[in-house]
Structure 1
Amino acid sequence: MVVCVGRQVTAGAGGGRDLSCRVVWCPRYRRAVLAGLVRDRLDSLLREKCAWHDWLVMALGIEPEHGHLFVKAHSLHAPSYIANQLRGFTSHVLRAEFWQLWSRLPTLWSRSYFVATVGAVCADTVRRYIDTQNERPWRGAVTR
């Protein structure tokens, strides 16, 4: 049994909820286009969309070829809805602002993504995993 210190359960009408999701997605063909200004703009867009939906961003990690987001959402929103809202919004805005994304990729995001609800795992464990992606010994040097 895993005991999570500081777990935040939100109470609503008729019950409580603690829906936390980990979302991982990649650019089309896993091209390393999420660097520099694109990375910074993606970070701000993801935070903006989560704030608009009143979702709490617990951790966010953007690598040149993929992104990780750990978010606490409402129980009304399915994990697939969360992933699709974030991917659709960011694709639309980024492709409008950065012409090189139009020229290199037919669509910004791959059609596939990974979403996992975080049930028995502490939020701190997932946050630590996302924050230490660059510290893995088997990964090469990452340029930003």
Structure 2
Amino acid sequence: MKYKSNFNVVYSCRYHVVWCPKYRRPVLVEGVDVRLKSLIVETCSKMNVDILEMEIMPDHVHLLIEVDPQFGIHRAVKQIKGVSSRVLRQEFSWLKSRIPTLWSNSYFVSTVGGAPLAVIKKYIENQKTV
């Protein structure tokens, strides 16, 4: 496993993130998907967030990203959704007539990687016995 570090934290914080357009409308089509990918890459690059995998479906987005824990996953997702919404609604004016805002307020996030939970629990339980 490869770890990253900033000045005082060594980490491996990988997240699977999924979010949808408002009302799960299938509006990520007709070039919106391509532009969204480039916006996500650009935004993540500015935040030093690594994209491990990305897929844009017509009605949702999947991201596998690695985020510095001091920056935070919520802050990263908020920035990605905010920038992409603003730019896409400017560049694709038809989005404004289809939905009141581009993204729903919510998103799904799950940590990814490392050992299974049972293995980590066992490791911590056995610390004093080793």
Taking structure 2 as the reference length, the TM-score comes to 0.83
Give the match for residue 44 of structure 2.
50
Aligned 8 A contact 1:79 1:117 in 2 = no
Q: Any conservation in 2 of the 1:42–1:94 contact (CA below 8 Å)? A: yes
Match in the other structure for 1:37: 31
2:121 — aligned with what?
Answer: none
**What are structure 2's unaligned runs of at least 5 residues?**
117-130
Asked if structure 2 preserves the Cα contact closer than 8 Å seen for 1:83 and 1:115, the reply is no
User: Take 1:43 and 1:73, find their aligned partners in 2: how far apart are those partners?
Assistant: 18
Q: Residue type of the partner of 1:37?
A: G
- In structure 1, the partner of 2:11 is 17
Considering fraction of residues, name the structure with more strand: 1
Query: Quick check: 1:107 aligned with 2:101?
Result: yes
Match of 1:82 among 76, 79, 85: 76
Count residues with an aligned counterpart: 116
Partners of 1:66 and 1:17 in 2: how far apart?
A: 28
d(CA) in 2 for partners of 1:72 and 1:78? 10
Aligned partner of 1:19: which letter?
Answer: C
Root mean square deviation, CA, Å: 1.6
What SS does structure 2 have at the residue aligned with 1:33?
A: coil
The 2-side partners of 1:11 and 1:112 are apart by 29
Deviations 1:66-123, CA, capped at 9 Å, x for gaps: 000011111212211111111111000000100110010000001111112224369x
The match for 1:117 is: 111
Q: Secondary structure at the match of 1:112?
A: coil
* 1:61-76 alignment, distance < 5 Å: 61-76=55-70
Report deviation, 1:24: 0.4
